[in-house]
């Protein structure tokens, strides 16, 4: 049986194909040979960010004036797929953490904030993270508890965030805080620089994605300039939601591509492994299982392709 190939539907253009080939080369040269070593080391070299930035991979979907490339959503999905195709999800998660940390800067930040942060993030010189989840819960964003109380020209932030990707080594964190009443209309977004007094972090171990930098963040009377407020006070929930849909598509593209890579490894194993005189792949139960897996991967891919 041949491996499971990704069917590329006709709405992908020649430009998409050229771009995909470029990302595949980057992954083959700069990531695949080192992926296992970096997973064992639970990190990867920081210069991977600048290499990805030089190629324009970090700027996809961001405005050209700040170093980005304004293209359609499928370019982002291609990056997600090709990074995941070598089963290096941890590297991809941290390398691309700006795709969740920086859209609020692009979408609701003011000119000064965009100029200060976006060019250095999109070039890979600075790392951007998004901090929403708290130890008490992640899905229920509207009930987050970290507080930011305004005193004249600054906010005082208190609380804890957890499971934060690029949590240890990010330079700037987009942090969801409570500035108002309970519920979704009391949430704001603050940009918090890593060296701000009262801001500490500790690394977390994970079952997978070892190369990804995941941390718990602690804010203890952390003073953040009021000028670091992103958008309008108490309108942060809406700013967060603006990016959740494309984030979900990005995750779906990565998960499906990783499933396909796992499937092809399983298939290869089933064809090589001889049991009771025959390759596993010739046993009927195993063949059924493989077909069902391929069906589900192809069905999920078809759903993804309808996101256009």
Ligand X SMILES: Cc1cc2nc3c(=O)[nH]c(=O)nc-3n(C[C@H](O)[C@H](O)[C@H](O)COP(=O)(O)OP(=O)(O)OC[C@H]3O[C@@H](n4cnc5c(N)ncnc54)[C@H](O)[C@@H]3O)c2cc1C
Question: How many C-beta atoms surround the C-beta of residue 2 within 10 A?
Answer: 6
What's the CA dihedral at 60, 209, 141, 217 to 10 degrees? Answer: -100
DSSP 131-186: E--BTTBSS-GGG---EEEEETTEEEEEEEEEEEETTTT-SEEEEEEE-SSSSGGG
Q: Which of 191, 176, 172, 189 is nearest to 98 (CA)?
A: 172
Cβ-proximal residue to ligand X, closest one: 138
Pick out residues in 221-240 that bind ligand X (CB under 6 A).
Answer: none
Helix axes 14-26, 73-84, angle to 10 degrees: 30
Nearer to ligand X, 5 or 139 (CB): 139
Closest CB to ligand X among 4 and 132? 132
Among 12, 34, 163, 263, binds ligand X (CB under 6 A): 163
When asked if residue 78 is in the footprint of ligand X (CB under 6 A), the reply is no
Give yes or no for residue 131 binding ligand X (CB under 6 A). Answer: yes
Task: Give me 231's structure tokens.
Answer: 């958008």
- Binding status of residue 127 toward ligand X by CB under 6 A: no
* Residue among 113, 133, 228, 259 that touches ligand X (CB under 6 A): 133
Tell me the β-bridge partners of 239: none
Q: Active-site residue 200, yes or no?
A: no
Q: Give the interface segment with ligand X, choosing from 109-117, 124-132, 216-224, 229-237 (CB under 6 A).
A: 124-132
Distance (Å, whole) CA 216 – CA 305 = 35
164 Ramachandran zone, left/alpha/beta (phi>0; psi -120 to 50) = beta
Residue span binding ligand X (CB under 6 A) among the ranges 118-126, 132-140, 192-200, 218-226? 132-140
How many residues belong to the site for ligand X (CB under 6 A)?
16
203, 167 contact by CB (below 8 A): yes
Establish if 138 lies at the interface with ligand X (CB under 6 A): yes
Among 58, 118, 122, 164, binds ligand X (CB under 6 A): 164
Q: For ligand X, which stretch binds (CB under 6 A), given 25-33, 158-166, 264-272, 275-283?
A: 158-166
In whole angstroms, the minimum distance from the beta carbon of 304 to ligand X comes to 20
Q: Does 211 bind ligand X (CB under 6 A)?
A: no
In the complex with ligand X, the residue whose CB is nearer, 91 or 270, is: 91
What is the signed CA dihedral for 229, 234, 235, 241, rounded to 10 degrees? 100
Does residue 139 interact with ligand X by CB under 6 A?
Answer: yes
Q: Distance between CA 224 and CA 188 in Å, rounded?
A: 13
Question: Which of 66, 117, 209, 210 contacts ligand X by CB under 6 A?
Answer: 209
Residues with Cβ within 8 Å of residue 61, at least 6 apart in sequence: 68, 69, 70, 71, 73, 75, 76, 99, 246
In whole angstroms, how close is the CB of 271 to ligand X at the nearest point? Answer: 33
Site residues (CB under 6 A) for ligand X? Answer: 100, 129-133, 137-140, 163-165, 206, 209, 214
Q: Which residues are catalytic?
A: 247
């Amino acid at each position: 049986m041949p491996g499971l190939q990704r069917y590329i539907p006709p709405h992908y253009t020649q430009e998409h194909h050229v771009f995909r080939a470029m990302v595949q080369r980057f992954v083959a040269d700069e990531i695949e040979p080192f992926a296992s070593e970096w997973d064992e080391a639970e990190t990867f070299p920081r210069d991977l960010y600048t290499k990805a930035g030089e190629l324009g991979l970090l700027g996809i979907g961001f405005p050209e004036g700040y170093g980005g490339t304004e293209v359609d959503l499928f370019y982002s999905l291609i990056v997600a797929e090709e990074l995941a195709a070598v089963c290096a999800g941890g590297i991809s998660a941290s390398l691309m953490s700006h795709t969740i940390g920086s859209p609020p800067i692009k979408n609701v930040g003011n000119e000064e904030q965009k100029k200060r942060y976006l060019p250095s993030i999109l070039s890979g010189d600075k790392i951007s993270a998004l901090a929403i989840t708290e130890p008490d819960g992640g899905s229920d964003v509207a009930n987050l508890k970290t507080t930011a109380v305004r005193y004249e020209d600054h906010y005082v932030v208190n609380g804890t965030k957890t499971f934060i990707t690029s949590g240890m080594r990010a330079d700037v964190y987009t942090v969801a805080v409570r500035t108002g009443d309970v519920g979704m209309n009391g949430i704001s977004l603050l940009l918090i620089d890593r060296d701000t007094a009262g801001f500490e972090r500790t690394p977390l171990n994970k079952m997978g994605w070892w190369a990804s930098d995941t941390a718990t963040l602690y804010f203890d009377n952390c003073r953040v300039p009021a000028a670091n407020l992103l958008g309008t006070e108490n309108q942060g929930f809406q700013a967060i939601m603006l990016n959740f849909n494309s984030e979900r598509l990005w995750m779906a593209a990565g998960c499906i591509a990783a499933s396909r890579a796992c499937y092809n490894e399983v298939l290869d194993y089933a064809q090589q492994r001889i049991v009771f005189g025959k390759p596993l792949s010739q046993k009927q139960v195993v063949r059924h299982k493989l077909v069902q897996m391929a069906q589900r991967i192809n069905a999920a891919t078809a759903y993804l392709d309808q996101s256009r």
